[in-house]
């Protein structure tokens, strides 16, 4: 702890000195009475001062929580020396606020007596935080000296984004070779009826279609569609975001990404993740609950990093974008580089879907004729980009405050049902 | 104290009041602006007014000086307390203990000051009072000696 004298010490010493000097010069014993308590208090404080020794521990009741959830934090003090007044401040990162308890607060710590200061925090925003940096300031009884210290007992805390409601998922056009929940075009062992054919050696008796056999006089068997899984890649555009106050386009994008990843993983699909922007982050597609935690942990590190570098798809490892994968792109369409990369994906034959996180509600309308024209031009440009996607056969749904993610997914699904992908 | 100085003095009352009010104004300014470096000058001004009254007096010891000294000290403590930059509340026991300490210090100032003044006035107040005054002075010295010894022990612990 670093020690410093408060202005009060100098003031008291000065008052005492002036009072005693005046008493001597003016020969007034009464002034000695005025000066004496100031001198005594300053002298006692100077003689008594010592650096307090305190051990502090921080305990979080859990390491992972969801957005909006409450979290209990306990600050445990074990003072070897008593302190009459101790100011305590738990440094909180943006995204966490105190719901119950006082922070900062002033405590009295008795020698050898353990004190616990409970706080209840609310997580306002998703992210990876480290909580536990404590600022201490100890005062002596008369406030003449201060001892200050910063104690680092930070512990990791992961706040996961809340999930958006999604009714129906998009059905991938192509499936993979592993078992899953999607009815594949290929014929193999399965439940969904596909076709009938003539019996060949090796076919199982239970597949015999007795009605067709009776009609044709020879053995015919049923063929079924296989149930396969699919590869889904969630593509997050982090080149730019629109932000206003506490809202941004990145927050709903992350919530949607977490929701979609959880739903696809639940139906045994392989899900991968690409965060494409100023910084690159990717996860190879995989299945299971562990993959969901990997994806969400990767999302927690997502930030918008300003960069003027041109990004190409070649920077992404090939295995991150498996062929025939369904690519779900979540983008505010603010940066041309993201749009170009997505169109490049489409040109390479990927099954691409774009969910546009609308930034219009976050853009402040500026007054003035020129600014109005600039705003309208910007909106027209965005419509043109959307048109490019649609001409390439990529469905684009706009997700804004007036619609839900489920509605945007339904809009995209309807486009895919009407359109047919052609391969040249 | 400014009012007391103005009421008790019978010469240059306007000057005494002006000095006291100047000190009060500085004190008020320091409290409003939260300037701890300005606060002691305000108290110097208030004390200076009282010192002028005593200087112009007949030379007798002011019997109310111990009470005024206690009030002056308590006012200084409360002033410094009020300008501490703290936008949060302290624990109840912290405030109570601080108030208790303040009241004890003020009371001790009044009692010890009264006894010392009796001794210093040189009046024949009786052996009992003189003994009490001597005892108060000896006690004060003993407390200081104890604290000096304790601080040496504590510093020894720190170095170890």
Domain ranges of chain A: 2-48, 54-160, 180-228, 231-418
CA atoms of B65 and B84, how far apart (whole Å): 29
N-to-C CA span, chain B: 49
Domain ranges of chain B: 2-125
CA atoms of A350 and A324, how far apart (whole Å): 6
Compute CA distances A255 → A12, A65, A271, A293, whole Å.
59, 14, 16, 14
CB-closest option in B66, B84, B158 to A33: B66
pLDDT tens column, B34-58: 888 888 899 998 888 888 888 887 7
- Name A216's Cβ contacts closer than 8 Å, sequence gap at least 6: none
Which residues of chain A are at the B interface, by a Cβ-Cβ cutoff of 8 Å? 6-8, 11-12, 14-15, 18-19, 22, 26, 28-34, 36-38, 40-41, 43-44, 47-51, 84-85, 87, 102-108, 141-143
**Residues of A whose CB is below 8 A from B79:** none
Residue numbers in chain B where pLDDT is lower than 70: 59, 85-86, 119-137, 139-140, 143-160
- CA atoms within 13 Å, Cβ hemisphere of A24: 6
Closest A-chain CA to B71: A34
Q: Which residues of A388-415 are buried (b: 16+ CB within 10 A; e: fewer)?
A: ebeeeebbbbbbeeeeebeebbbbbbeb
CA atoms of A222 and A207, how far apart (whole Å): 5
Q: B152 to chain A, minimum CA–CA distance in Å?
A: 8
State the architecture of A231-418 in CATH terms.
3-Layer(aba) Sandwich (3.40)
- Name B143's Cβ contacts closer than 8 Å, sequence gap at least 6: none
Q: Using the beta-carbon criterion (under 8 Å), do B97 and A108 form an inter-chain contact? A: yes
- The token duo for B26 is 């500085």
CA atoms of A253 and A329, how far apart (whole Å): 10
Tens place of pLDDT per residue across chain A (424 aa)? 888 888 889 899 999 998 888 888 888 888 888 888 898 888 888 888 888 888 999 999 999 998 889 999 999 999 888 888 899 999 999 889 999 988 889 988 888 889 999 999 999 988 889 999 999 999 988 889 999 999 999 999 999 888 888 888 888 888 887 878 888 888 888 888 888 999 999 988 988 999 999 999 999 999 988 888 889 999 999 888 888 888 889 989 999 999 999 999 998 899 999 988 877 888 889 998 899 989 988 888 777 666 666 666 666 777 778 888 899 999 999 988 889 889 988 888 888 999 999 998 888 777 888 888 988 999 999 999 999 998 988 999 999 888 889 899 988 888 888 876 555 4
Task: Please determine whether the domains at A54-160 and A231-418 fall in the same fold group of CATH.
Answer: no
Fold of the A54-160 domain: Immunoglobulin-like (2.60.40)
Q: B22 to chain A, minimum CA–CA distance in Å?
A: 17
- Long-range interactions of B15-18: CB distance < 8 A, separation 24+: B15/B52, B16/B49, B16/B52, B16/B53, B17/B49
Mutation pick from B53, B55, B68, B143 vs chain A, by most beta carbons of A within 10 Å, is B55
Query: How much is the pTM?
Result: 0.73
CB-closest option in A28, A38, A85 to B73: A38
Strands A83-91 and A105-109: antiparallel
Q: Using the beta-carbon criterion (under 8 Å), do A33 and B154 form an inter-chain contact? A: no
CB-closest option in A18, A28, A106 to B44: A18
Q: Using the beta-carbon criterion (under 8 Å), do B94 and A32 form an inter-chain contact? A: no
Q: Using the beta-carbon criterion (under 8 Å), do B36 and A11 form an inter-chain contact? A: yes
In which residue are the tokens 């208090």 written? A41
Q: By C-alpha distance, which of A264, A260, A262, A256 is closest to A182?
A: A264
């Amino acid at each position: 702890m670093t020690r410093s004298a408060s202005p009060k010490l100098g003031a008291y010493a000065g008052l005492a000195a002036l009072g005693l000097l005046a008493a001597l010069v003016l020969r007034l014993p009464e002034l000695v009475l005025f000066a004496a308590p100031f001198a005594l208090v300053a002298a006692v404080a100077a003689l008594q001062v010592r650096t307090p020794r305190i051990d502090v521990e921080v305990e979080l009741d859990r390491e992972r929580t969801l957005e909006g959830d409450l979290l209990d934090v306990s600050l445990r003090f074990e003072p070897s020396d008593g302190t009459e007044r101790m100011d305590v401040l738990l440094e909180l990162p943006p995204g966490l606020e105190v719901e119950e308890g006082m922070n900062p607060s002033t405590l009295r710590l008795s020698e050898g007596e353990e004190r616990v200061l409970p706080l209840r925090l609310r997580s306002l925003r998703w992210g990876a935080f480290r909580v536990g940096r404590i600022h201490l300031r100890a005062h002596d009884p008369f406030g003449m000296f201060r001892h200050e210290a910063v104690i680092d007992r930070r512990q990791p805390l992961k706040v996961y984004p809340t999930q958006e409601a999604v009714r129906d998922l998009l059905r991938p056009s192509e499936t993979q070779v592993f078992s899953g929940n999607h009815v594949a075009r290929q014929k193999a062992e399965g439940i969904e009826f596909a076709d009938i054919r003539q019996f060949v050696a090796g076919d199982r008796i239970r597949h015999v279609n007795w009605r067709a056999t009776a009609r044709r006089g020879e053995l015919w068997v049923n063929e079924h569609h296989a149930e396969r899984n699919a590869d889904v890649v969630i593509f997050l555009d982090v080149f730019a975001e629109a932000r206003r106050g506490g809202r941004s386009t990145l927050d709903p994008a992350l919530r949607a990404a977490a929701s979609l990843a959880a739903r696809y993983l639940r139906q045994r699909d392989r899900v991968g993740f690409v965060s494409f922007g100023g910084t690159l982050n990717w996860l190879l597609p995989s299945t299971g609950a562990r993959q969901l935690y990997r994806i969400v942990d990767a999302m927690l590190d997502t930030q918008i990093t300003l960069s003027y570098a041109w990004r190409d798809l070649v920077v992404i490892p090939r295995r991150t974008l498996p062929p025939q994968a369904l690519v779900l792109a979540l983008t505010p369409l603010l940066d041309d580089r993201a749009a170009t990369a997505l169109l490049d994906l489409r040109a390479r034959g990927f099954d691409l879907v774009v969910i546009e996180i609308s930034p219009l509600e976050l853009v402040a309308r500026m007054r003035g004729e020129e600014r109005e024209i600039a705003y309208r031009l910007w909106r027209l440009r965005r419509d043109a980009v959307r048109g490019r996607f649609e001409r390439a056969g990529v469905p684009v749904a706009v997700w804004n405050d007036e619609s839900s993610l489920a509605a945007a997914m339904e809009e995209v699904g309807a486009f895919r049902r009407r359109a047919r992908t052609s391969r040249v | 104290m400014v009012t007391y100085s103005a009421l008790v003095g019978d010469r240059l009352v306007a000057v005494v009041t002006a000095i006291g009010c100047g000190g009060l104004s500085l004190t008020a300014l320091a409290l409003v602006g939260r300037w701890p470096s300005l606060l002691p000058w305000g108290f110097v001004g208030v004390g200076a007014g009282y010192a002028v009254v005593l200087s112009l007096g007949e030379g007798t010891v002011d019997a109310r000086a111990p009470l005024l000294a206690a009030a002056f000290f308590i006012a200084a403590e409360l002033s410094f307390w009020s300008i501490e930059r703290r936008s949060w509340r302290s624990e109840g026991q912290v405030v109570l203990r601080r108030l208790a300490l303040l009241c004890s210090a003020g009371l001790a100032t009044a009692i010890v000051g009264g006894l010392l003044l009796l001794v210093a006035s040189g009046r024949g107040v009786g052996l009992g009072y003189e003994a009490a005054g001597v005892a108060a002075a000896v006690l004060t010295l003993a407390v200081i000696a104890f604290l000096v010894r304790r601080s040496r022990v504590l510093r020894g612990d720190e170095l170890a």
